[in-house]
Amino acid sequence: MKVFINPGHAPGGIPDPGAVNPVTGTRECDIAAQAGRLLANYLTAAGIEIKALQSDDLGEVCAASNEWGADVFISLHCNAFNGIARGTETLYKSFNGQRLAGFIQSQIIRSVNTVDRGSKLRDGLWVLNGTDAVAVLVELAFIDNMEDLKLLKTQLDKLVRAIARGITDYQTA
Ligand SMILES: [Zn+2]
């Protein structure tokens, strides 16, 4: 199985850092990049072929995944809303995307103490619409919520290991 990993937004935050925690300045692009590196390691260790690309050019991201012939496409992001909302959700568009999202979401909920916002159908997301692979977008946590930020800072490894298990669950289901 070939898994394409897309950490959200631009590497190093230029020109697009994604969401930023207003208190600490923690940037979504950096959390996503770190999560992407961890995920690449866990999937490689599980014998899965991976390719990763972080870019604010989503056309480039989709083309790279499609040209490579990815079976699975995982985009990694952090949510932001009003500082109060928190939790983890996995977004999908296709039938198999829904299955994959379900495996990932339930592994995450079993692994870390987060609010389960569920897996959700999303129609308007470029990376879900433009990729041929079975695609999901994981919103790891709300970067603008201080409890969720703590989760991202102290339990990212656990969270990402859960995503990797969700992918292998999908592979063997
Ligand atoms: Zn994002």
What's the whole-model pTM score? Answer: 0.98
Q: What is the pLDDT of residue 109?
A: 98
CA of 36 to the centre of ligand 1 (A): 13
The secondary structure of residue 80, as a DSSP letter, is -
Nearest-angstrom CA–CA distance, 101 and 89: 9
Nearest-angstrom CA–CA distance, 173 and 168: 8
Q: 152-161: per-residue pLDDT in tens?
A: 999 999 999 9
CA of 76 to the centre of ligand 1 (A): 8
Q: What is the pLDDT of residue 117?
A: 98
* Residues in the chain with pLDDT values less than 50: none
User: Degrees (nearest 5) of the Cα angle 104, 137, 140?
Assistant: 70
For residue 53, the one-letter residue type is L
CA of 18 to the centre of ligand 1 (A): 5
Q: What is the pLDDT of residue 60?
A: 98
The secondary structure of residue 20, as a DSSP letter, is B
Q: Which domains, from first to last, does the chain contain?
A: 2-172 (3.40.630.40)
CA of 43 to the centre of ligand 1 (A): 22
Strand spans (E) along the chain:
2-7, 49-52, 72-79, 88-92, 116-121, 134-142
Q: 113-140: per-residue pLDDT in tens?
A: 999 999 999 999 999 999 999 999 999 9
